[in-house]
């Protein structure tokens, strides 16, 4: 996931949370997105290493 889409979804979630007054939800979703982004980056690194070895 590119950084543009990552920040785009964070902003969308924040705007929704401001209107619904659910700030805790934004913090939890932000942590989930950060975790998924880190997992995705790790998997991409493993894939690149695997491609180079073959």
What's the mean pLDDT in 7-21?
A: 84
In angstroms, the CA 28 to CA 43 distance is 23
| pLDDT above 60 (res 1) | no
Q: How confident is the model at residue 5 (pLDDT cuts 50, 70, 90)?
A: confident
pLDDT score of 49:
92
Contact 13, 26 (CB under 8 A): yes
Q: Which helix (H) or strand (E) segment is 19 a member of?
A: helix 3-20
Dist. CA 2–CA 10, nearest whole Å: 13
Higher pLDDT pick, 6 / 41: 41
**pLDDT tens digit string along 24-53?**
887 888 888 889 889 999 999 999 999 998
So where are the chain's domains? 3-53
- In sequence order, the 6+-apart residues with CB closer than 8 A to the CB of 10 are 30, 33
Q: Is 51 exposed, middle or buried (0-12, 13-18, 19+ CB in 10 A)?
A: exposed
């Amino acid at each position: 996931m590119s950084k543009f889409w990552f920040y785009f979804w964070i902003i969308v979630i924040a705007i929704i949370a401001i209107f619904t007054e659910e700030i805790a939800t934004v913090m939890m979703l932000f942590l989930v997105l950060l975790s998924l982004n880190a997992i995705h980056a790790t998997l991409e690194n493993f894939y690149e290493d695997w491609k180079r070895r073959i």
